[in-house]
Structure 1
Amino acid sequence: MTLQIMVPDLPESVSDATVGTWHKKIGDSIKAGELLVDLETDKVVLEVPAPQDGVISQQFFETGSTVQGHQLLAELEPLPASGEETSAKPVVAEVGASDILTPSVRRILAEEEVDPAHLHGSGRGGRITRQDVVQHIQSQSNQPMPVPVEIANVEAVDVSSNGREEKRVPMTRLRKRIAERLLEAKNTTAMLTTFNEVNMQPIMQIRSKYQEQFEKRHGIKLGFMSFYVKAVSEALKRYPEVNASIDGNDVLYHNYFDISIAVSTERGLVTPVLRNCDDLSLAEIEKGIKSLADKARDGKLSVADLTGGTFTITNGGVFGSLMSTPIINPPQSAILGMHKIQDRPMAVDGQVVILPMMYLALSYDHRIIDGRESVGFLVYVKSLLEDPTRLLLDI
């Protein structure tokens, strides 16, 4: 009996999805739980697995097609019971632990048309890593390549006789949504940015002195982000306007501190939310950020992970940015940008001293936050970072 595979229930506020990568073709065998297709929404990637063993008999949408909840995606012919004759295509050999592929690995496998059954995984438990795929492609580069199969919605055009090419690739749903939100923030808010700088030497000394003990006690390294999040949480308590948002003609003040952390992924920038930050220790903050970053890069974030933040922190310093003007993440009213820590000559008590300095940038919606609140907030964050013991003493 033919089994129908439907589009699953879409998350709340998501009306449709885009068919991403088909991991099986018509005629391929598939095992129960094995990934059939990725569906991209403007928030998360939904993975559709096979409900049972079988052979793919029909696929009703091509890559790039738009689908809605409960639409028919594919049909599966179940494998016959043991001992029954069948004319179906034989089941491919199991790949084992390498069946568990991250979205980035599946994407490059699909783009380069590499069969994972031909790869030997070097990751934990024999899993295939991105480096395994790259090495396999490089090893095959001297061999005759098959004629590539045309990929839907991707077009390469030779625009001159000297071999230069342009490739037209449609924007992903996430990239489209990012573009929409950035334009929305620029066009609908009275956005200003104020700057300050902070001496990071006290925090760097704490990390240097206690890093080994901290990692041994908590099983995670002590980074800078936990200090940033803790300082921001305390500053938001004293400047509630910065933690508020505009709802129609009302100002909505939040008495909780759920901070969005900007994470760069292959699909684009996402801002998963670390909740109740004021109640978390430095170790809990570090673990929470690592968990969210791992989920983001593996495409495992849920809609709940991405919604409800009241303030955002973005750290362009990890990419070398010395200064920037971050854009507000609607419906929030402010975002704090951290930057590269760089040694600079500073005047201290009449003497020139080389100190590790970092610029802070607070972008805010002037409709709800005045200059007094924005500057006061930034100065308070600066004071906490330059004297971290105030975080412990709550002063």
Structure 2
Amino acid sequence: MTFSPTNTYFSRKADQVLGEVCSLVGHKPQARARQTLFKMVMLLLLCVVLPLTCGHQEESSGPADRFVCSPVINIPKLACSGHDDNSCLDACHSKIEGLERHLDKEKKKIADLEQRLSSLEGQRVRAGLGSAADPGLSCKEIKDTVDSAQDGLYHLRSQEGIVYQTYCDMTTADGGWTLVSSVHENDMYGKCTAGDRWSSTRGSTTNYPEGDGNWANFNTFGSVELATCDDLKNPGYFSINASDVMLWHVPNNTPLSQYKSEAYLRYYTTDGFLRQYGGNLYSLFKDHFPIVYKGATGNGPAIPITWDNGSEDLLKSLLAPNVLGEVTPGFVHFCVFNNERAPHAVCPGLKYNGGNVEHACIGGAAYWAEVAPRQCGDFAGKDWDGYGTHTGWSSSLLELESAVLFFYR
């Protein structure tokens, strides 16, 4: 007596299905795993409903009074002697119960996998985040998503959908800093001329009280590769919702690969002050502290900084000697007016307590009343007593010939 050929078919299909389940558990799509479990359950039902090839005897030319029971799913074949169909059926059922227990374990594994996948719902685990094909919204988003991200160039997308490339510092103070702008003085002798984008490119005049207005508009200019050779303002300046800023002082014409290593001053804020002012400098200047000649009666906020490279003593050693009595190092100060009511956008690394702001701070509007246009420009009066002489009201040559880079996080 021989076993029905149907049994061979089920055994072969079962082995195939079990192989699928084993390969799926823990790392294959949930839908396929469910389909495979369904197939296995159906095969079990078939094994029970059909004769199971255990209780059917067929005449053949083989040995008499002997047939083979082949349970499903790679279970060792049982030799059933004589005509004791019940004992063979019990053995098959026992094997099926063992298989059901195995299936329960596999179901638990799949349930655990589903729970893990559910916990990741809403998160974007994208290995290519920051590429041209998958730009991030900020360097912080990339760092939060790809913990191993390193310093370098990444592609970002503004809230308006503009894709741009910029530098990300992924290591300073846990990283996630986006380079959004740089202020660079291209010509101290060209007062408010073509290169003075952070003050005025049209000269010094009371008819132009806001200057070019680039501290509080959607203009963009420059490139990340030339941030120490020219002014930079990318879409991140007005589109990123940030909490803090970081500033680097980098000598002019430093190549991109050396921005960080060559920055002799690097410092950042930690108190989340930007959240009070709309999340970026664009909102701070547009909605709270406009850079307009005689446009306000008081200065903007002075925020404490943490030094990453450099020190208060190094900063003081680079400033014009005459300003030292009017400043407090260890801050970044926004929208500061001089004695003649001309605004300066940022005082890097210090709080300005006096009225001769033009000799230490950067950026501004289009008109400086004192000996106009002598103080007009992105670096205003830093050369008052000679270019880079580091005497009187003139800064050191290094400070005069360096760009200030701004980052958000």
| TM-score between both structures, scaled by the size of structure 1 | 0.23
Identify, as 1 or 2, the structure richer in strand: 1
Computing the radius of gyration over CA atoms, which structure comes out larger, 1 or 2? 2
